[in-house]
Amino acid sequence: MNIRVRFAPSPTGFLHIGGVRTALFNYLFARHNNGTFILRIEDTDEERSTAASVKAIFDGMEWTKLNWDEGPMRDGSELGPHKPYLQSARADAGIYKKYIDQLLAEGKAYKCYCTQEELESARQEAIAKKLPPRYSGKCKHLTDAQRAEFEARGRRPAVRFNMPKEGHAGWNDLIRGEVTFASKDLYDLVIQKTSGYPTYNFACVIDDHMMEISHVIRGDDHISNTPAQIQIYRALGWTPPEFAHLSMIHGPDGTKLSKRHGATSVIEYEKQGYLSAAVVNYLALLGWSTPDSQQLFAPGELERKFDIKGCQKSPAIFDPAKLEWMNGEYIRMTPVAKLTDLAMPFIKEAGINIGGADRARLEGIISLEHEKYKRLTEVPGLIKFFFSDVEFDAAAVEKVFKKPEAKSILEGMAEVYSNIASFTEAELERAARGYAELKNLKTGQIFHPVRVAVSGRTHGPTLFKMLEYMGRDTVVKRLKEAVKLAA
């Protein structure tokens, strides 16, 4: 059996983290099973679909490297044998119309002339009577004469699916097991809008069938759509694909993840300094796990180990703290050269002028705090003092420079370092220790004021390496200036 799965977003906003998670699970399922991963754009909502949202989908998919084998591409071309992959284009090509007409001819669908207002008031009435707010089926038995009358009055009909009222529609969900709905709880849903466009539940079935989708992996908010879709497959004489319904991602307050919870667009995570591999790794663990609860995955490992059996039925709460930890892990695993490339936009964004710093020195400086970065946005703040004047932390100045011996130590060290033969880590440390011994001071009494003098802070990278990268002129100059701040 050919494994073919799809991610079918609707372009009505940015690509949010939940969408990426769905795309990721489809992608992993395809890659693990040597199948095909398809991207299909479900833009049948003429009012809300936008080109900007289509672009946002490309941006997000590309950033997370969820490469698709078939579907629309950014340049307007399309990959794969089932084009077009945009539902609007498919609608324009008459693909859905053909099946609508077929169902109509077979009596498996009928025209409905109700207006939105009529439907809405019927809905309100049902809710008031505590009945299911569901379409009654009133247009099902319209006579030809009645239809002709509506048409004569200029009413455009929608087409409704004539839902079978007997029996059941169920499936063996790959994640949840047997799920069954009684047909009587289903209703005659609209499959073609007045505009002539298909609705989601219809277009989805036609496309999944035509594109030979073998497994539909989607969020569990679609569970109640599934029985209706199964009935449509049956009406068309088709075999439904396998279904797997993923649990949702919730925010810290336990409700479905949304704008209220801060960053929800994937690209927002890029802007906040997360590495896409870390976001992907974290997302994979929301609602999925290996039998041994593995946390970190090497490149290609998720693809190898993904098993839909490891999917969770219950919703997962998005935990920013864990994502941040994971991002730190990924940053630590990133070679400095690559890290420097990734950090560059953030450094520029922060307005730091790295001037004539050569690449090797820049990488050296960035590597000083390699294990400390949790997000790329932290890089500029931690390297800034190498490239611009020291900004003193008031508490640091108070704590370190106000010690009685501080002033003479700074003067002494400025002297030592201006005369040192070789301005290298080892020599700098040796000289500092030598000075401590000479003055009968503890090494900490030297190290701390020097650190604050050159960086403005009490904490930072390993001291002598930092001084080496800073260079003699800057170090001596800063030590001398710091003397003025000392008591």
Partner RNA sequence: GUCCCGUUCGUCUAGCGGUCCAGGACAUCGCCCUCUCAAGGCGGAGAUCACGGGUUCAAAUCCCGUACGGGACGCCA
Instruction: State which of positions 414-433 bind RNA (CB under 7 A).
Output: 429
Question: Would you call 109 helix, strand, or coil by DSSP?
Answer: strand
Is the separation of the CB atoms in 286 and 318 below 8 Å? yes
Of 388 and 462, the one with the shorter C-beta distance to RNA is 462
**What's the Rg (C-alpha) of the chain?**
32
Instruction: State which of positions 165-194 bind RNA (CB under 7 A).
Output: 176-182, 185, 187, 189-190, 193-194
Q: Which position among 62, 212, 371, 437 is part of the footprint of RNA (CB under 7 A)?
A: 371
For the beta carbon of residue 319, count every other beta carbon within 10 angstroms: 13
Residues 6+ apart with CB under 8 A from 121: none
Of 151 and 348, the one with the shorter C-beta distance to RNA is 151
Residues 6+ apart with CB under 8 A from 122: 114, 135, 136
For 250, phi then psi, to 5°, come to -110, 160
Q: Give the Å distances, CA to CA, from 385 to 215, 379, 406, 458.
A: 54, 12, 21, 13
Question: If binding is defined by CB under 7 A, does position 112 make contact with RNA?
Answer: yes
For 189, phi then psi, to 5°, come to -75, 155
Question: If binding is defined by CB under 7 A, does position 445 make contact with RNA?
Answer: no
Instruction: State which of positions 311-340 bind RNA (CB under 7 A).
Output: 312-317, 319, 321-322, 324-325, 328-329, 332
Of 165 and 348, the one with the shorter C-beta distance to RNA is 165
Question: If binding is defined by CB under 7 A, does position 459 make contact with RNA?
Answer: yes
Query: Which residue, chain included where needed, has tokens 């508490």?
Result: 395
- Least distance from C-beta 15 to RNA, angstroms? 12
Is the separation of the CB atoms in 327 and 357 below 8 Å? no
Question: If binding is defined by CB under 7 A, does position 209 make contact with RNA?
Answer: no
Q: Which position among 102, 183, 272, 295 is part of the footprint of RNA (CB under 7 A)?
A: 295
Question: If binding is defined by CB under 7 A, does position 248 make contact with RNA?
Answer: yes
- Least distance from C-beta 257 to RNA, angstroms? 10
Of 27 and 373, the one with the shorter C-beta distance to RNA is 373
Instruction: State which of positions 124-143 bind RNA (CB under 7 A).
Output: 130-135
- Least distance from C-beta 42 to RNA, angstroms? 3
Question: If binding is defined by CB under 7 A, does position 123 make contact with RNA?
Answer: yes
Q: Which position among 104, 223, 263, 342 is part of the footprint of RNA (CB under 7 A)?
A: 223
- Least distance from C-beta 191 to RNA, angstroms? 9
**Burial label, 445 (beta-carbon count in 10 A; 0-12, 13-18, 19+):** middle
Question: If binding is defined by CB under 7 A, does position 392 make contact with RNA?
Answer: no
- Which one of the listed residues 259, 322, 338, 439 is annotated catalytic? 259
Q: What is the DSSP string of 32-87?
A: HTT-EEEE-B----TTT--HHHHHHHHHHHHHTT---SBEE-TTS-EESTT---BH
**Burial label, 122 (beta-carbon count in 10 A; 0-12, 13-18, 19+):** middle
Question: Would you call 336 helix, strand, or coil by DSSP?
Answer: helix
- Least distance from C-beta 248 to RNA, angstroms? 6
Name the token pair of 280: 């992907």
Of 234 and 370, the one with the shorter C-beta distance to RNA is 370
**Residues composing the chain:** 487
Q: Is the dihedral of CA 300, 305, 311, 316 positive or negative?
A: negative
- Least distance from C-beta 78 to RNA, angstroms? 18
* Sole window of 71-79, 230-238, 282-290, 469-477 interacting with RNA (rule: CB under 7 A): 282-290
Question: If binding is defined by CB under 7 A, does position 484 make contact with RNA?
Answer: no
Question: If binding is defined by CB under 7 A, does position 51 make contact with RNA?
Answer: no
Catalytic residue check, 138: no
- Least distance from C-beta 75 to RNA, angstroms? 23
Hey, which residues are catalytic here?
259
